[in-house]
Amino acid sequence: MMPGETGGGCPLVSSEMEMNNMEIALMLMALMALSMAKKKETRKFGQMTLNMGGQALEYLKTSVKPITRNVQRVEWANKIYFEDRYELPPWVLPKSDDDRAQFKGSDRVQEVAILHDADPAEIPLLVYQVTALRGLDHALAKAQEDGALVKDDGRLLVLDMGEESLKMSFLRNPKGGKFAPFIVTLND
C-alpha cells in the first residue's frame, strides 16, 4: 500500500478527498475565529452607560430624593460636541436607525450640560432636560456673578469654580407626571 491510500482504490482519489476535508476544516476554523471576533455591545447598568470608547455618564432621573452634586466644573455645548468623549444615551444622541426609530423625540434635545463633581470618584452628571437646563443656567449665571471663571470658544461653554464648588440639587416630583419640571436649587 502506498502513503495516502486508505485501503483499496486509487491513491489519487483518496489524496484528493483528504485535501478537500482539510480545506473544509480550515474554512470552518476561520469562520469560527471570525464569529468570535465580532464587536461587543455597549454594557448598560441602571442609569449609566459603560463603553470603552467614551466616559460613562449618570443621568438625571425622577426621584423622591433630590440628586445633589458639589459641582466644580460645567461643560455646556451641543450634544454633537460630546459624542466622541462621552457615552451619550440613545434618547439624547441616537447612533443607529433603530435608535432613531425608537427615540423619535431625540432631535428636540440639542444643548446638554455635563457636571463634574469636586469628588473625582463621582461619575459626571448629564443634564439634557429643558427645565433642568433652564434652572442650571440661572444657577451658573449667579456663580459667574460671584466670580466663577467662564470660558467660551464658540462651541463649548465652560464654567470652572477652581478650588471651590457649587452644591446644587435637582428634583423632579415623581407624582407630577411625565412632564413635571426639574427644580434646581443652590445649597450653601
DSSP string, 154-172: SSEEEEE-TT--EEEEEEE
Say whether 65 sits in a helix, a strand or coil: coil
**20: which 3 cell numbers?**
478537500
Q: Is the Cα dihedral 18, 22, 23, 24 positive or negative? A: positive
The pLDDT value recorded for residue 88 is 87
The pLDDT value recorded for residue 73 is 93
**109: which 3 cell numbers?**
434635545
Give, as one character, the DSSP assignment of residue 110.
-
**Nearest of 54, 49, 51, 43 to residue 82 by alpha carbon:** 54
pLDDT per position as a tens digit, 122-164 = 999 999 999 999 999 998 888 888 888 899 998 999 999 888 8
User: Low-confidence residues of the chain, pLDDT below 50?
Assistant: 12, 38-52
- Other Cβ atoms less than 10 A from the Cβ of 169: the count is 15
Asked if 59 and 47 count as a contact pair (C-beta separation under 8 A), the reply is yes
The pLDDT value recorded for residue 4 is 52
At position 171, the amino acid (one-letter code) is L
The pLDDT value recorded for residue 133 is 93
**120: which 3 cell numbers?**
473625582
Domain boundaries, the chain: 9-38, 43-187
The pLDDT value recorded for residue 45 is 40
